[in-house]
Amino acid sequence: MRTALTALLAFAAGVLLMLGIAHHAPAPAKPADGNSTVTAVRSAPAPATTTAAGDDGSDAADATDNWPSKAPSPEQVIYGQHDMLQKALARLGPRVAGRPNLYVLAFGADGGEDVFRNEAEYAAKLFPERFGAGTHVLVLENNPNSLEKHPLASWSNLEAALDGLADVMKPDEDILLVYLTTHGGEDHSLLVDMDPLPLDQIAAPDLGDILKKRPFKWKVVVVNACYSGGFVPTLHGPGTLVLTAARADRSSFGCGSDSDITYFGRAWLVDALNRTPDFMEAFKQAAGEIAQWEQKDKLTPSEPQMDVGAGIADQLALWRKHITPGPAVAFKPAPSSAPPAGPSAPH
């Protein structure tokens, strides 16, 4: 009897041990397309702002305190992403034949500050109005006030949007411009956050892998975040222009609840691109303007970076031959979702 009982207890302990191991095992790497066997393992979701729920569920309720009352529930938002993205892709204008087209993907990733929404939505207005036919814009955005207007800025939507654009573009002729705006970390990662949704973070190697998996020959990648110069090594390559708001070990400036647009967003998007259609000349103008602002404010210089891959300058020049820039496009921030709180900060 004792022998049987001992064997039974040992079997039960073994089952519990195996369940514990399975529960704590790391998730497998996501399979990749093409010849690669795996792609980068996604970074952890943004840290939660609340603790786990107590017996009365009060902490769970706290997690959605900032969720807009008239918006769909978080689960409904997640469930609706596929349809929202497909509708956004379907609204893109037809490709203009016989010339390079410009396809802009604006990615405003931090839902906690309106400044990133303002930049993404201004890009959606600026590029088609300023550069006319042959310019197409898709916005991915995290913001409490636009959950029903734009698909989320998430890793999954970024990949799906790029796949959708690849289907409508001529990848060997058209130019893809990806404009990412959010907070950046010293580890060269981008904050992707729409609390309380558990969104994956995007690091420099992740973004490089995402773009390398796809067929775009000509790319302009703009990373507007602190420490964004750390994205240059993984994005560098033929046919690619990389612009960053700061060098790898420096902050950039202009975010915060009382700011309408970042330093780099104002200098490159609003000021320089309303003077010239040349993205590289606009960058040079923007970098000089930012340096003046930082000197005036006694800030450590951010030192924006530019990396020009082989061939991209000529392709951009060919694109410019077919456009007649329109008048300057005024910047107007979206209605604020939060009251001003403190001075402008690094981002």
SS (H, E, C) 116-166: HHHHHHHHHHHHHHHHCCCEEEEEEECCHHHCCCCCCCCHHHHHHHHHHHH
Closest to 175 in 3D by CA, of 230, 233, 287, 99: 99
Compute the average pLDDT of residues 290-302.
97
**Cβ atoms 229, 247 nearer than 8 A:** yes
CA torsion through residues 151, 152, 156, 162, sign = positive
**Average pLDDT, rounded, for the chain:** 85
Of 53-62, 115-124, 137-146, which range is least confident?
A: 53-62
Cβ atoms of residues 177 and 167 within 8 Å: no
pLDDT of residue 138: 98
What structural domains and CATH numbers belong to the chain?
100-323 (3.40.50.1460)
- Please give the Cα distance from 120 to 11 (Å, whole number): 58
Q: Where are the alpha helices (DSSP H) in 178-278?
A: 204-212, 232-235, 263-264
> Rounded to 5 degrees, what are φ and ψ at 169?
-90, 165
* 246-269: pLDDT as tens digits: 999 999 999 887 889 999 999 999
Spatial distance between the Cα atoms of 171 and 169, rounded to a whole number of angstroms: 6
Would you say the C-alpha torsion 275, 118, 189, 257 has a positive or negative sign?
positive
Which pair of structure tokens corresponds to residue 268?
Answer: 């490159």
Per residue in 136-146, pLDDT (tens digit) is 999 999 999 99
Higher local confidence (pLDDT), 60 or 46: 46
Residue type, 341: A
User: 33-61 in b/e burial notation, b at 16+ Cβ within 10 A?
Assistant: eeeeeebbebbeebeeeeeeeeeeeeeee
Instruction: List the structure tokens of 177.
Output: 């411009």
Residue for token digits 């654009």? 165
Pairwise CA distance, residues 89 & 74, whole Å? 23
Residue 336 pLDDT: 65
222 CB neighbour count, 10 Å cutoff? 26
Six-digit token pair at 28? 């497998």
The pLDDT value given to residue 43: 66
Mean pLDDT of 315-330: 97
DSSP 3-state of 178: strand
Among 98-107, 281-290, 310-319, 328-337, the least confident range:
328-337
Average pLDDT over residues 17-41: 35
HSE toward the beta carbon, residue 328, CA cutoff 13 A: 11
The mean pLDDT of 65-84, rounded to a whole number, is 89
Predicted confidence band at 47 (pLDDT cuts at 50, 70, 90)?
low
Instruction: Give the span between the Cα atoms of 161 and 67, in whole angstroms.
Output: 25
Pairing label, strands 189-190, 200-203: antiparallel
- pLDDT band of residue 71 (cuts 50, 70, 90) is confident
- Determine phi and psi for 205, rounding to 5 degrees: -60, -35
